[in-house]
Amino acid sequence: MSNQAKAVVIHGAGDVRVEDRTVASPSAEEVQVDVTLGGICGSDISYYSKGAVGRFTVTAPMVLGHEVIGTVRDVGSRVGGFEDGQRIAVDPSSPCLTCDRCREQRFNICLSPIFLGSASTQPHTDGGFSSLLLSKAKNVVPLDSGLADELAVFAEPLSVCVHAVERAGGVSGARVLVAGAGPIGCMLVALSVASGAAEVVVADVAADRLEIGRRLGASSVRLVGNDDLGAGYDVVFDASGAATAIADGLERVRRGGTLCLVGLPHGGSVPMPIHLSVTGEVTVVGSFRFNHHEFRRSLELLTGGLNLSPLISNRYHVHDAGAAFVEASSGDAMKVQLDFSQSS
């Protein structure tokens, strides 16, 4: 079998190329995966449109992608429990396991993490948008035969939402406002509904995104600038990263409630009416990535029928990755998927 792969490589802003790469055979504790499907994430789009995510700038060519599923092609000598051709999802996160945060089991805020497709490390960490991929066996999770590929590939972004609900202290019986109806906001809607929230309101500046929020189960949708967003919510999730929305979110939480920040604010500092957090004892929490048990939990939720298919905008073959990134970064798309099947 050939170890040649087709990989989606970012060289800088606006410069994504499909390149041939040679992938090594698996070492003792690795699994070699034939990647079948990938999802383009906000961070991939940021690398494409700006050449950076926050302060992490692409300074050398890097394979993009961290939302991937595939099938097992080969396993290392110390790897058991997998069959050739078995369908799996790859958890893209590898905490160091030795730092103070890892010792507290807060692996998602590890002090020196490795994350697929990230320019946070030097050299950069190549991602999963490669038709052939090596992964540590402990990051590889089997897929249920009843779970379709196009839904299984949501495991990673849904994990972000599972972690956010956990950080918010749960939403069972709660009145929830989700600010921002992008992919993460819409998944927070679906997850809050599935988690027993009493009411889930979603707000955005774009009516077409709100319609997807409605299809994913929102009790009501509010067009920012047009509709009243309401107040007295037990939990407000900010999935927009917009300064005005974050400040506004704090005004809409009830006394003793929680504002959970999931979207990364563009440009750093955000002015906040922080007196409301003091006098109303509103808890403001940040939420970042997820832990491995939350990745497994999100696969259970998807297997159990959490249907995120309204989020799929389009699917491109890896050979057309350039067009996929143009669509994904257009602002009109929700989730664009990349098909890697039979591409090496």
Among 33, 41, 212, 333, indicate the residue that binds Zn ion (CB under 5 A): 41
Count of residues that bind Zn ion according to CB under 5 A: 9
Binding mask 154-183 for Zn ion (x = CB under 5 A): --xx--------------------------
Specify whether the backbone of 268 is left (phi greater than 0), alpha (psi in -120 to 50) or beta.
Answer: left
Question: What phi, psi does 277 have (nearest 5°)?
Answer: -70, -30
Residue bearing tokens 């990938």: 38
Q: Does 99 bind Zn ion (CB under 5 A)?
A: yes
**Choices 19-27, 98-106, 220-228, 260-268 (CB under 5 A): range interacting with Zn ion:** 98-106
> Beta strand 30-39 with 335-339: parallel, antiparallel or unpaired?
antiparallel
Dist CA 325 CA 143 (whole Å)? 27
Among 26, 65, 95, 127, indicate the residue that binds Zn ion (CB under 5 A): 95
How far is Cα of residue 82 from the mean position of the Cα atoms in its chain? 26
Q: Does 53 bind Zn ion (CB under 5 A)?
A: no
Min CB(311)–Zn ion separation in Å: 12
How is residue 270 written in tokens?
């955000």
Q: Does 96 bind Zn ion (CB under 5 A)?
A: yes
| 3-state SS, residue 162 | helix
**Choices 28-36, 103-111, 309-317, 319-327 (CB under 5 A): range interacting with Zn ion:** 103-111
Binding mask 110-139 for Zn ion (x = CB under 5 A): x-----------------------------
Dist CA 156 CA 153 (whole Å)? 7
Residue 237's H or E segment, with its range, is: strand 233-238
| 3-state SS, residue 296 | helix
Q: Does 247 bind Zn ion (CB under 5 A)?
A: no
Min CB(97)–Zn ion separation in Å: 6
For Zn ion, the binding residues (CB under 5 A) are 41, 67, 95-96, 99, 102, 110, 156-157
